[in-house]
Structure 1
């Protein structure tokens, strides 16, 4: 017998009940259990999305898809410094804030210790402590929610509730004209694109024509070879095929007819797409005159781990003690490399890294912290105050086996080097409008389970940074220095910003790609260090803007 509408409605009800029960369990679950279970939920979310789309409830399908992403990061951000609505009595708000701070600290500590070899031995005590805090918070939240719709909305945010269809539609409606949201929902078997424009009653849902075998055994290996290991590939003189860029046609090609009128796209990736420069993929038809058109040719692109984080970002901005981000004094620039100045290569590297720091500092009107002055203690001291810009010109590291041990290489203050890790950032509170890590691989993340991605981006966002400018691979130092100088010139020059962060980054990338920032040097062999092709995305496309694009 063919299933009818009643059967579909019944199936949706079952899925929604299962997801609601799962959400209740999430709040009670320690971090280790939460992360260990995430990859098992994919099938439930996929079935729920499929049923909702079949019922024509596309906004609800988008809410379920986005609710499957970055749940731990959403919880950590939601329990940060958010103002309670005026209707909530001050003593009740204080009780809730104190308990939420304790829960956030407990979860952040457990997450920071994930991957360490040495056990702390106090796991059972933490589980008991966490259960007591959650019970206290549940009682406080029930009391708070009785104080009106605004208070109930606040509770949902603090509790870590998944985004609702109505909430995502409101979020899109509050965006500037010409800005849209794009959600990628990937189950490992299929990928859906959900495009939501301001004022739209429902998102537009499209299926990507991705063959998983081609993705895993063709596109991704080619990307790893030509981009993530790009310096070695070029030094060996191996030809560049740019095969990985063809992924854009089956993945993002369905968007092409719908980009008219857009000047900015906010992308919430999923799975392997977190690691790819989606803005640099070809989206034009292979046999057309626009075959090598990219997203960034059409509009500015910024990224967010999950669309629900945008709502948390907006609420944070409303706190009473929000930092002033206008004016040039509140910026800090650090520059460091452990390169040996006695060698030609080391001397050149020092000129580039420290020169970048000096140039950026000059644009921001501050004195840079260089060499041994650029150490972890100086960074800790700098972030005690609200900052407009925090720029680190240094080496970066990503450790696949322990992503939270990834970090940036700073001085140790006594003549040596030390890695300032993602764990250390997670333990801080950052009131920073934009953090720029021009180091290598600072935008790479590793999966903690499901779509929970760990690395510097997660650490900085959970600590409170509004926007991040990060590199997805080991970037070329010369082109990075030029890109950063131009970026800050346009964003923080004497005349003020000409455009948003996202649009400014787009303009600089296109200027670099078109050979206007650094002229091409194609007369040299590919193995010659002097060779430079600005159209190669290895040089112009490594940086991504995450978070607040304005």
Structure 2
């Protein structure tokens, strides 16, 4: 008889044997109904998880083992005769084990594709933990705040993770208060970190030796320790330096290192009349959480929303809005707001602005057009969007830049739609006139002009045609005089703009990759450095777009250049003004404001 291995010998093989035995025991229970088999399955799945050195063995096998244990608790908890709260905590711990093992795999993977798959693989675990946190919050007075905080954090940490990492490691402009020596030291470490990723990415994934991954782990951890020391010194140089460091640190946030302070800091910075609403799609429901300045913890809700109803609303939205096939429109999709946001109304009674942090299919909907008690959300509240709270903090932390205004308008001269071409160029001319400047002549509205003048501009307004490429989202872009300027081109820019406006069709659409990461113009422009951007979700009517844009700018800046309102308030005012004469949301709801509203 083989000797049972000790702690040092517990390997992936033995874990796999335990999983196989657990699966066998579950099948026997299904055949016989004898509870001893369920207890045996629980022993089989839980035993390897108690062996600490398994972390050094096969992390993928550990993920499977922990997931099996979580599923067993969910499906057969009553057969194990565990008290309800004890069972809930056991399920919670099992799925956290899934996240922990998956995180180690994520950190060791240099490949975007594999990281996307790993993020997607934990979707069920994230959903389960959110559900359990809400359940435990409702049943524990002393720990309710902690459970609600955890639900909010885990929902947000799963959003746009790779975008957050790119924003954290991208070239940025440190505040002038930070000594140049510290900035140079940071830049050198970050450059080495990029080099490690590049070297690993040059190898075929199926040919990477384990020793190379171990070397990657070691050097990466050493660089992180160096960066932590540098960042700790930077923080001594004032509020701007601390804000800069907080954005840089986001790259190091792991599932097991969630920090509530960051979320509270963002809420406090926005003020007491601003609410943050995080939205996460669960298998048959939607998780909603509301956070405001001064709150110890968010308020959380799980709203039952069958998959069939959501798909039905998305289909109607696609037919009536995105493709304009159905007339007159029913606007049935707007009714989602009654289920999602009406229950939150008491929490928003004294709120002026709402930030939406969407998830999954909600990225593609104009949430501000959904109805609450029969009226569009934006009729009562100003609205802005961000891919996640961490991404929002990044945009809020960017220093304000006093630069020029760049206005470019272009439509192909051979375009048979002469009226549309005239409207596009007229919009550019009128926007430029309002800011006491001249638009770039259409024949000169090219990539070189955008690169040359865009990096020093505080406002970039582009009136042109746009296109989203579903086959290659990074090829999505705007049409300039010398061809398409796509997301890859934007990624190469180093912007300081306070606002980039793309007055073009479909510029706000992004592809949602596994793990809820966005790929498209939104991601590219945020990465390039803009604090905020104004985009459209569908092909828009040119005359109403022109009217909306001019009204938007008049609401933000006076004719002498003074800022008289924030961008979100101007967005709301322009939308409501257009809605007076155009009740169909096709005309007034395509615009989205992303990033820093101030």
Q: Same fold (TM over 0.5)?
A: yes
Q: Quick one: distance in 1 between partners of 2:350 and 2:400? A: 34
Does 1:303 find its partner at 2:371? no
Higher Rg: 2
Instruction: Compute the TM-score of the two structures, normalised by the length of structure 2.
Output: 0.76
CA contact (8 A) 1:441 1:474 kept: yes
Structure 1 residue ranges without an equivalent (≥5): 111-119, 285-290, 413-417, 516-533
| C-alpha distance 448-99 of structure 1, shift in aligned 2 (>3 A) | farther
Matches within 5 A, 1:267-306: 267-284=356-373, 291=374, 293-306=375-388
Does 1:139 find its partner at 2:239? no
Give 1:541's aligned residue: 589
CA displacement 1:204-231 (0-9 Å, x = unmatched): 1112232210211x2111111111012x
More helix as a share of residues: 2
Q: Quick one: distance in 2 between partners of 1:130 and 1:433? A: 40
| C-alpha distance 338-14 of structure 1, shift in aligned 2 (>3 A) | same
Give 1:113's aligned residue: none
Match of 2:259 among 143, 164, 174: 164
Q: Quick one: distance in 2 between partners of 1:130 and 1:95? A: 25
1:35 Cα offset (Å)? 1.6
1:266 Cα offset (Å)? 0.4
Does 1:479 find its partner at 2:544? yes
| Structure 2 counterpart SS, 1:333 | strand
| C-alpha distance 34-124 of structure 1, shift in aligned 2 (>3 A) | closer
Matches within 5 A, 1:341-380: 345-346=417-418, 348-380=419-451
Q: Quick one: distance in 1 between partners of 2:207 and 2:590? A: 40
Matches within 5 A, 1:94-493: 94-101=184-191, 103=193, 135-145=218-228, 148=232, 150=235, 156-161=249-254, 163-216=258-311, 218-230=312-324, 233=326, 238-284=327-373, 291=374, 293-315=375-397, 317=398, 322=399, 324-325=401-402, 330-340=404-414, 345-346=417-418, 348-385=419-456, 387-412=457-482, 418-493=483-558
Q: Quick one: distance in 1 between partners of 2:280 and 2:592? A: 20
Q: Quick one: distance in 2 between partners of 1:130 and 1:70? A: 25
1:396 Cα offset (Å)? 0.5
| C-alpha distance 368-245 of structure 1, shift in aligned 2 (>3 A) | same
Does 1:65 find its partner at 2:155? yes
Give 1:80's aligned residue: 170
| C-alpha distance 175-130 of structure 1, shift in aligned 2 (>3 A) | farther
Flag the structure with more relative contact order, 1 or 2, with Cα contacts below 8 A and sequence separation at least 6: 1
| C-alpha distance 456-490 of structure 1, shift in aligned 2 (>3 A) | same
CA displacement 1:323-382 (0-9 Å, x = unmatched): 623xxx6111110011537x5x31x12220000001111122221113221111111112
CA contact (8 A) 1:398 1:444 kept: yes
| C-alpha distance 538-154 of structure 1, shift in aligned 2 (>3 A) | closer
Q: Quick one: distance in 2 between partners of 1:87 and 1:132? A: 36
Q: Quick one: distance in 2 between partners of 1:89 and 1:154? A: 18
Q: Quick one: distance in 1 between partners of 2:450 and 2:361? A: 32
1:125 Cα offset (Å)? 12
| C-alpha distance 358-84 of structure 1, shift in aligned 2 (>3 A) | closer
CA contact (8 A) 1:79 1:158 kept: yes
1:392 Cα offset (Å)? 0.7
| C-alpha distance 78-155 of structure 1, shift in aligned 2 (>3 A) | closer
1:55 Cα offset (Å)? 2.7
Q: Quick one: distance in 2 between partners of 1:499 and 1:49? A: 37
Q: Quick one: distance in 1 between partners of 2:215 and 2:442? A: 47
Instruction: Compute the TM-score of the two structures, normalised by the length of structure 1.
Output: 0.82
1:165 Cα offset (Å)? 2.3
1:177 Cα offset (Å)? 2.6
Q: Quick one: distance in 1 between partners of 2:377 and 2:355? A: 11
Root mean square deviation of aligned Cα: 3.1
Structure 2 residue ranges without an equivalent (≥5): 1-80, 138-146, 236-241
Q: Quick one: distance in 2 between partners of 1:278 and 1:207? A: 18
CA contact (8 A) 2:435 2:559 kept: no
CA contact (8 A) 1:245 1:281 kept: yes
